[in-house]
Structure 1
Amino acid sequence: MTDIAPRRAPQDWEVRVLRDTELLAYKQLRDGMLARHPEAFTSDAETEMRREPESYRSRLGGGANGVGLFTLGTWRGGRLGGAISAEREPRLKVRHVSHIVGMMVADDLQGQGIGGLLLDCALRLLQQDATLEIATLSVTASNHGAVRLYERCGFVRYGRLEGALKLPDGRLLDKDLMMRRLR
């Protein structure tokens, strides 16, 4: 999995696999997104803010049993503007399934094509692995912008988990389960 040159990078954003030395930037972006958008993520900000940056190392690739495939980041001028991670199932009968997790784009950069760029690069990396056949993800059903992005990139909804998220204020949010064939 090496070729991730984007078809067209919006506003000179570089997309590349995150490095160990960039875990702090990743954690800072993630913590901010979780705090400002609790409805968009399964993880909660309070718990995640207590984690050390090193605890995300498995997302960089080569984690236990190859579960963590990669995390891509968009960079411009030393700033991490967005990130996306991919994992795979470790069990033999489902090792052909990958999961897109932790898709995020900084608030001030949304609507500029960065999310689509990240997703496109991630899908092309996944397609380079001949053992992977399916990519899945879950998205808060009321996050219409994200749902539209995933649909534009070929994902289809195969289910909905009603009440999947319970926010601290008691609100229940549904999660759409989506998939896309890689071959």
Structure 2
Amino acid sequence: MIEIRKLTPEDAEGYFRLRLEGLENFPEAFASSYEEEIERQAEQVTERLRGQNPDTHFTAGAFYGGKLVGIGTFLQREKNKTKHKGDIVGVYVAKHFQRNGIGFKLLQYLVEEAKKIEDLEQILLTVVSENSSAIRSYEKLGFVEYGLERRSLKIYGYYYDESLMMLMLKKEPKIDEMNDALDIP
């Protein structure tokens, strides 16, 4: 049975171990590198989880048999002009648990929790353009590609392109609706 919930500081050690596994096994899936993250201390990860606002910035985990096997983070942007947007980052499922729907369930959870944020209108993410299975999962949830960043990551001399994807939570107002809201004849 899979349980998905927001992580707490007590989950820091499992989160840190799983994140390092992802960075080591799939370096092209993350902007951070294993070498950068290994320098962190478990206490720093604990403080980061403790400092998150659980309503607008949270890390979720998927547990199987009580063991943390999947992670993902949602961050609502903080600036007034961009707080209508949020980002999903750092999604990873342990190697031996991949390809059985855990990642999709984790993504569903992140999206559903993010939808509870009153002023959130769109969720953004990036994914290596070669990762077709992840892209299919995102598309299944309603994400669409809106751009491609060429040579986004450089790992050991090899470049990876990243697909920029978005999920619109609220439809864009039509020009007449905007004019009415602004009381323009």
Which residue of structure 2 lines up, in the alignment, with residue 179 of structure 1? Answer: 166
**CA distance in structure 1 between the partners assigned to 2:111 and 2:169 by the alignment:** 8
Residue 126 in structure 1 maps to residue 117 in structure 2: no
Superposition deviation, residue 41 in structure 1: 1.2
Q: Which runs of 4+ in 1 moved over 3 A?
A: 56-60
Identity of aligned residues (%): 35
Contact 1:59/1:85 (<8 A) preserved: no
Task: Flag structure 2 segments of 5+ consecutive residues without an equivalent.
Answer: 171-185
**CA distance in structure 1 between the partners assigned to 2:42 and 2:113 by the alignment:** 24
Residue 78 in structure 1 maps to residue 78 in structure 2: no
TM-score by length of 2: 0.86
**CA distance in structure 2 between the partners assigned to 1:19 and 1:157 by the alignment:** 32
Secondary structure in 2 matching 1:94: coil
Aligned residue among 87, 109, 120 for 1:99: 87
Secondary structure in 1 matching 2:120: coil
TM-score by length of 1: 0.87
Contact 2:12/2:49 (<8 A) preserved: no
Structure with more contact order per residue of length (Cα contacts < 8 Å, sep ≥ 6): 1
**CA distance in structure 1 between the partners assigned to 2:49 and 2:127 by the alignment:** 19
Contact 1:116/1:149 (<8 A) preserved: yes
Task: Flag structure 1 segments of 5+ consecutive residues without an equivalent.
Answer: 1-11
Which residue of structure 1 lines up, in the alignment, with residue 16 of structure 2? Answer: 27
Q: Which moved more, 1:45-54 or 1:14-23?
A: 45-54
Report matched runs for 1:33-48 at 5 Å.
Answer: 33-48=22-37
Larger radius of gyration: 2
